[in-house]
Amino acid sequence: MRVGSEFHEVTRRVREELDAAGLSASILARDLGTGVEIALDADRTFPAASLVKLPLGAFVLGQIHRGELDPARPVAVAPQGISVPGPAGTTRFRHEARVAVEDLVTLAITVSDNAAADALLTVVGPEQVNAWLSETGLAEIRVRHTLSTLHARAPDGNSAEHTRRTHVLAQRGGSASGHHAMPEFDRSRASIGTARAFATLLTEIWRPTAMPQPVAARLRELLHANVHRQRLAPDLASDASRWASKTGTLLNLRHEVGTLEEEDGSALVLCALSASRVPAGEQPAADAALGAAARQVRDALRAAFPREL
């Protein structure tokens, strides 16, 4: 069920507040009980960054469930020796490691481990993941390259001027048609997705119809264990609710998609994909603005459909 006229005021206010914070964003909130949505440019395509680790993990876990992959199969993870702030997990290893397939999924989703995701892509290629996404009705999400590609031109942390120029190129190097001077931002070459498509994937994970129940349950467990919670969680998580999510961050891109489970048993899928106009890596105000927007749409849905505890 799409947004009704009663939500137009909240979408207008959210749009203005995000614009004031230097953000261009796509947001979709969906109540899993009623199906009612609040949508703000929800079909706009963004470079997906690390959000692609979620469909990648879902596909791999599906293959494990069907017996097509051995969850204990060891996979070589090449050392990347990353030392700049940001990347976590095996990305920072200096020696080759061998990690089981299922544990690579855990690393990719819970700590957004780029090297773990790249190792999974040596086991299942992007074309396999994309074929599954198309069959599942999620063709708006595409996996097209390794995750290490995303950081090939990222700032090295040693030059403020280099950092500024890279951020300026990210935000100004594109065209209205979606082409971009940086391949990882070019919609014809980059991994991409929309807020609506990720909301549909999360809906399937929380209310599975085609996805096997054990696969959905494992994905929910991993999303609850996500350690990157600086964006939407401060405004959504509480003792009376649980927030499970996956983030995607690259230069001026700031995404988070997740599900809020309330104490009364209700659940809300909320996806926020955004790009900042501010040429800086550290942008706590942008994250705070996204969190505030998420809170507003959540409150609007709760007010429209109150539930008794």
In angstroms, the CA 153 to CA 288 distance is 27
* Contact in structure between 38 and 3 (CB atoms under 8 Å): yes
Answer whether residue 84 shows pLDDT above 80.
no
Pick 47 or 169 by higher pLDDT: 47
In a domain, 143, yes or no: yes
Please tell me the predicted confidence (pLDDT) of residue 309. Answer: 40
Answer whether residue 158 shows pLDDT above 60.
no
Please tell me the predicted confidence (pLDDT) of residue 122. Answer: 95
pLDDT in tens, 178-234: 676 676 788 778 999 999 999 999 999 999 999 999 999 999 999 999 999 889 999
Token pair for 53: 């680790």
Please tell me the predicted confidence (pLDDT) of residue 235. Answer: 92
In a domain, 89, yes or no: no
In a domain, 92, yes or no: no
pLDDT above 70: percentage of residues in the chain: 86
Domain range for 151: 5-55+126-304
* Contact in structure between 21 and 283 (CB atoms under 8 Å): no
Please tell me the predicted confidence (pLDDT) of residue 69. Answer: 98
pLDDT above 90: percentage of residues in the chain: 66
Instruction: Give me the number of domains the chain comprises.
Output: 1
53-57, 77-81, 274-278, 280-284: range with lowest mean pLDDT: 280-284
First to last CA, the chain: 24
In a domain, 224, yes or no: yes
151-155, 158-162, 296-300: range with lowest mean pLDDT: 151-155
In a domain, 175, yes or no: yes
Count of beta carbons in the 10 Å neighbourhood of residue 282: 9
In a domain, 113, yes or no: no
In a domain, 265, yes or no: yes
Place of tokens 């097209």: 144
pLDDT in tens, 93-102: 989 999 999 9
pTM, two decimal places: 0.91
* Contact in structure between 37 and 2 (CB atoms under 8 Å): yes
Give me the CATH number covering residue 264: 3.40.710.10
Place of tokens 């999510």: 245
The mean pLDDT of the chain is 88
pLDDT in tens, 1-55: 554 556 888 999 999 999 999 999 999 999 999 999 999 999 999 999 999 999 9
Three-state DSSP class for 47?
strand
Position 161 confidence tier, pLDDT thresholds 50, 70, 90: low
Place of tokens 């481990």: 113
DSSP structure class, residue 71? T
In a domain, 215, yes or no: yes
